[in-house]
Amino acid sequence: MKMNEKKKLRGEKIVFLIMILAVVIVYGGSIGVYYVKEAIINYKTDKIFEEHMAVASDSALKYIREKYGFEAENPEADTDWDMDFREGIKSKILRKEDTEDIFIILKMTGGGRDFRAIVYGYPDSITVVDNYQYDEITAALTDKIAGELPGGNVLKMQLYDKKYPTLFYSFFDIYYTGDNIDEIIDRCNGEVEMIFTGADFSDSETVKMLDGSYIDYRLASFAGSEKMEEFTESRNKCRGFKVDECYKEYSEYITDYRQKKSGEITYEIT
| Residue 81 confidence (pLDDT) | 72
Same domain, 104 and 141: no
- What whole-number distance in Å separates Cα of residue 85 and Cα of residue 104? 7
Looking at the structure of the chain, the number of domains it has is 2
Which run of H or E residues covers position 80? Answer: none
Indicate if the pLDDT at residue 3 is higher than 90: no
The amino acid that residue 235 corresponds to is R
Q: How confident is the model at residue 1 (pLDDT cuts 50, 70, 90)?
A: very low
Does the predicted TM-score (pTM) go above 0.75?
A: yes
Q: How much is the mean pLDDT over the chain?
A: 87
The amino acid that residue 33 corresponds to is V
- What whole-number distance in Å separates Cα of residue 142 and Cα of residue 222? 18
pLDDT digits (tens, 9 = 90+) for 151-179: 789 999 999 998 887 778 899 999 999 99
Indicate if the pLDDT at residue 117 is higher than 80: yes
Report the share of the chain in percent with pLDDT over 70.
Answer: 87
Same domain, 163 and 262: yes
Same domain, 138 and 262: yes
pLDDT digits (tens, 9 = 90+) for 120-155: 999 999 999 999 999 999 999 999 998 888 778 999
Same domain, 97 and 145: no
Q: Which residues contact 1 (CB under 8 A, 6 or more apart)?
A: 9
pLDDT digits (tens, 9 = 90+) for 176-205: 999 999 999 999 999 999 999 999 999 899
Structural domain that includes position 116: 3-130
Indicate if the pLDDT at residue 10 is higher than 80: no
- What whole-number distance in Å separates Cα of residue 80 and Cα of residue 38? 26
Task: Provide the CB-side half-sphere exposure for 201 (13 A, CA).
Answer: 28
The DSSP secondary-structure symbol of 176 reads P
Q: Which of 130, 158, 187 is the last residue of a domain?
A: 130
Q: Which of 97, 130, 163 is the last residue of a domain?
A: 130
Same domain, 145 and 50: no
- What whole-number distance in Å separates Cα of residue 45 and Cα of residue 90? 5
Same domain, 96 and 110: yes
Same domain, 57 and 156: no
Q: Quick check: helix, strand or coil at residue 96?
A: coil
Q: Which of 130, 152, 184 is the last residue of a domain?
A: 130
